[in-house]
Chain A
């Protein structure tokens, strides 16, 4: 299995631009999670999906952030417009079931200048 695949690995953009991060979960996994990691705040849960349906988006910081999961094999996290404080590593993770391990992708390092 290829594991969770995220793209791009690195993204550098200017303030005000739209940014789209992509994730392909492990096939057959029912749960998909988006986390953000910074030195100051650690690993923060932004949103998670179960069977492609958003269940809890209480961690999404602002309306500038949106996430979709149009099918079982693809999810996007969009930031529009981006701001320097959005700079972080964004991880996507998937799990087969509840009570099962989270498998993390390699992350997207976002830098907003």
Chain B
């Protein structure tokens, strides 16, 4: 079942923060986050496996709630390079297979 992402699109000024959410109706095994720039392939950002987990690098971080049904991606002090479409990919319980079902994506545009 496809995860639900919100918002569908967001426009930011450089330096502003954004949060992208990914929700599932059932508990998950894992959630991945990817960024795709126009005309390019999706690029891996991070993977979360444990309920309550939080991880991040630079100014991009993510969380996975205790019930493992919701994940959020946090982008702080956004830069122009953050522009793109962000996808969460979820694996249902019973993994590990890396069989990911991707959400519909969130288009992020960072303006000067």
- Chain A positions near chain B (C-beta within 8 angstroms): 31, 33, 35, 42-43, 45, 48, 50, 55-56, 91, 95, 97-107
Contact yes or no, A45 B99, CB < 8 A: yes
Q: Which of A48, A91, A101, A107 contacts B32 (CB 8 A)?
A: A101
Interface size class of chain B, counting residues whose CB lies under 8 Å from the partner chain: 20 to 34
- How many interface contacts (CB-CB < 8 Å) are there between A and B? 62
Interface residues of chain A: helix, strand, loop or mixed (majority) = strand
Q: How far, in angstroms, from A101 to B31 measured CA to CA in the complex?
A: 11
Q: How far, in angstroms, from A53 to B34 measured CA to CA in the complex?
A: 26
Q: A31-B98, A33-B98 are in contact. List 11 more A-B contacts (CB 8 A).
A: A45-B99, A50-B97, A55-B99, A91-B41, A98-B98, A99-B30, A101-B44, A102-B34, A102-B44, A105-B41, A106-B40
Q: How far, in angstroms, from A100 to B105 measured CA to CA in the complex?
A: 21
A43-B87 contact given A98-B96, A99-B96, CB 8 Å threshold = yes
